Amino acid sequence: MQYLISVIHDQAGLATPEEHAAIDVFNDRLQAEGHWVFAGGLASPNTATVIDNRGEEALVTDGPFIESKEYLGGFWVIEAPDLDVALKLAADGSKSCNRRVEVRPFQ
Amino acid sequence: MNRVDVREAVTRVHHEEWARVVASLTRRFGDLDIAEEAAAEAFATAVERWPAEGVPPNPGAWLTTTANRKAIDRIRRENKRDDKQKEARMVYDDDPPEPLGAIDDDRLRLIFICCHPALAMQARVALTLRMVGGLTVPEIARAFLVRETTLEQRITRAKAKIKAARIPYRVPAAEDLPARVTGVLAVLYLVFNEGYLATSPDTDPVRHDLTAEAIRLTRLIRALMPDDGEVAGLLALMLLTEARRTARVSASGELVTLDEQDRGAWDAALVAEGHRLVRERLAAAAAGVAPGRYQILAAINAVHTSARDVRDTDWSQVVALYDQLVSLDPSPIIALNRAIAVAELDGPEVALAAVDRLEDKLAGYHPYHATRADLLRRLGQSQQSRAAYDKAIELAGNTAETAYLTRRRDQLR
């Protein structure tokens, strides 16, 4: 079973070097314990571009699709047998990146 | 057997066997929805057939077998791709008799899944009353004054989350157990409290159905986890509170405070049972096991219920227990209750000073204003007391409590 752990970013500035170091340790553990699927940190939302190609031609807009104080700062995709295991890993992930996280199962 | 006897037998079996049937079906089919529906159908079949055929010698086994068939029927009917695998398992799993231990574990699993911290508190309450307590959706909706459709949605959404997010059907690991048990007890305490002092003016002030259900479920958990001190503590707390229930509302529907209650009307059997549990926990505490909040609250209630007359209450003991509680839980509500005991020990002036310090946090909490009103009344500050009663009456929802506060206010000179 795979879960998405989204990092909720609600402060100015991206991860500090200390946070990066803690995240690396957590990532190593995910790999060693077989939970690792994929992970990444995202650049700030004002680097985002929105594309809408549902019509005749692709419409390109600058900026994130939703303006908010909280945004997706990064994510992990993990493999876990059930939500209890996923929540424990997410708790450690939250500690490592020093931010709130959201856990959501894949379909 | 006549119809009344059969109906009573069905009610009794429903109380005794519902959780067991739902729990064993959940384990077998891995799906709360199927388990709930099949269990409900099996009980409906019992209601239909037992009057004519008689109550079977082993009603629990009869219900489990019937529910299993209903579940298999449903899965076959739906015949979805995803269920093929389950069906294959069912064909070969010829309903082996379960050893008692495993079945009891199933009920614990059921309790833990219904009270999982990833579910909203309201959903936990609804799910626990439905799945473990066997209350119907209309019964739970009535108890919490929500529309049946709202409650149904709450339960459906919770079941869907359990399935989609794969909340596991198991007893938590030893290291997680204390926190998870605390979560389960919080659900039961909430149900009990809503029964003991209903928060809405639209229901009876004391809801015996809810207090009884909370006690029944806590007894079940106590039977399943006899060594857990907090489970014993919560059960004792509920029993010692429930023991005073009939003395708590007057014939005219007014709340009767602890100091004015007819102590002879307390339920002596419940008091004795509560005291036994508290003594058991005191022995454990003497052996070095630190008591949790429910055990301390139970001990406070044991002090109250040990006094034949309110004047015999050992208030220094009550305050000492509150001190212990404050160190565990520094919430302003605990501090307020401590101040009420302090008023008896050190006088209303000292208590009022402590209560006034809580204004920031408790301005919207009616017991804060009711406590202040009472302390101000005792200090002869009628005008301020009246204002505090007004505020308390405005915020209180319980009819018996409103009636009590109104009389007290109107007695002020």
Delimit the domains of chain A by residue range: 2-105
Residue of higher predicted confidence among B251 and B320? B320
Neighbours of B261 (CB within 10 A): 17
Top pLDDT among A21 and B2 is at A21
Q: How far is CA A91 from CA B141, B144, B363, B365, in A?
A: 35, 33, 34, 33
- The CATH topology of domain B4-97 is Rna Polymerase Sigma Factor; Chain: A (1.10.1740)
Region B66-92: mean pLDDT is: 73
Please report, rounded to a whole number, the percentage of residues in chain B having pLDDT higher than 70: 93
Instruction: Identify the pLDDT of residue B103.
Output: 46
Sequence-separated (6 or more) residues with CB below 8 Å from residue A79: A1, A2, A34, A35, A36, A37
Contact (CB<8Å) A105/B168: no
User: How much is the pLDDT for A4?
Assistant: 98
The pLDDT of residue B80: 60
Give B4 or B179, the one with higher predicted confidence. Answer: B179
Say which CATH architecture domain A2-105 belongs to. Answer: 2-Layer Sandwich (3.30)
Q: Are A9 and A72 in contact (CB under 8 A)?
A: yes
Over its C-alpha atoms, chain B yields an Rg (Å, rounded) of 24
Is B93 a residue whose pLDDT tops 50?
Answer: no
In this predicted structure, the answer to whether residue B96 has a pLDDT above a threshold of 50 is no
Torsion of CA A15, A17, A18, A22, to 10 degrees: 70
A105 near B CB under 8 A: yes
Q: pTM for the full model?
A: 0.84
**Which H/E stretch holds residue A49?**
strand A49-52
User: How close does chain B come to A8, measured CA to CA in Å?
Assistant: 18
Give the residue among A8, A86, A87, A90 at the shortest CA–CA distance from A42. Answer: A8
Q: How confident is the model at residue B41 (pLDDT cuts 50, 70, 90)?
A: very high
Look at residue A97 in the predicted model and tell me its pLDDT: 94
* Chain B touched by A106 (CB under 8 Å): no
What DSSP character marks residue B259? Answer: G
CA of B34 vs chain A CAs: smallest distance (Å): 20
Of the candidates B300, B258, B263, the residue with the CA atom closest to the CA atom of residue B278: B300
The Cα–Cα gap between B124 and B118 comes to 9
CA of B126, closest CA in chain A: separation in Å? Answer: 21
Task: Pick the most confident of A25-29, A43-47, B246-250.
Answer: A25-29
Read off the pLDDT of each residue in B382-389 and give the average, rounded to a whole number: 95
| Chain A residue whose CA is closest to B162 | A83
Interface test with A, best of B119, B162, B163, B166 (most A CBs within 10 A): B166
The pLDDT value given to residue B81: 57
A105·B164 Cβ contact <8 A: yes
Chain A residues with CB under 8 Å of B172 CB are 84
Gyration radius (Cα) of chain A, Å: 16
pLDDT-derived band at B99, boundaries 50, 70, 90: very low
Distance from A105 to chain B by nearest Cα, in Å? 5
pLDDT band at B97 (very low <50, low <70, confident <90, very high): very low
ipTM over 0.90: no
Instruction: Name every residue whose Cβ is closer than 8 Å to that of residue B68 and which is 6 or more positions away in sequence.
Output: B25, B28, B38, B95
Ramachandran sector of residue B157 (left: φ over 0; alpha: ψ -120 to 50; beta: rest):
alpha
Whether B118 sits inside 8 A of A82 (CB atoms) is no
pLDDT class for B179, splitting at 50, 70, 90?
confident
Q: Is the pLDDT of residue B105 over 90?
A: no
pLDDT, tens digit (0-9, with 9 covering 90-100), for B262-282? 999 999 999 999 999 999 999
The least confident of A49-58, B68-77, B188-197 is: B188-197
pLDDT band with cut points at 50, 70 and 90 for residue B100 = very low
Average pLDDT over residues A19-47: 94
User: Is the Cα torsion angle A71, A75, A77, A82 positive or negative in sign?
Assistant: negative
DSSP SS3 for A34: coil
- Would you state the pLDDT for residue B399? 87
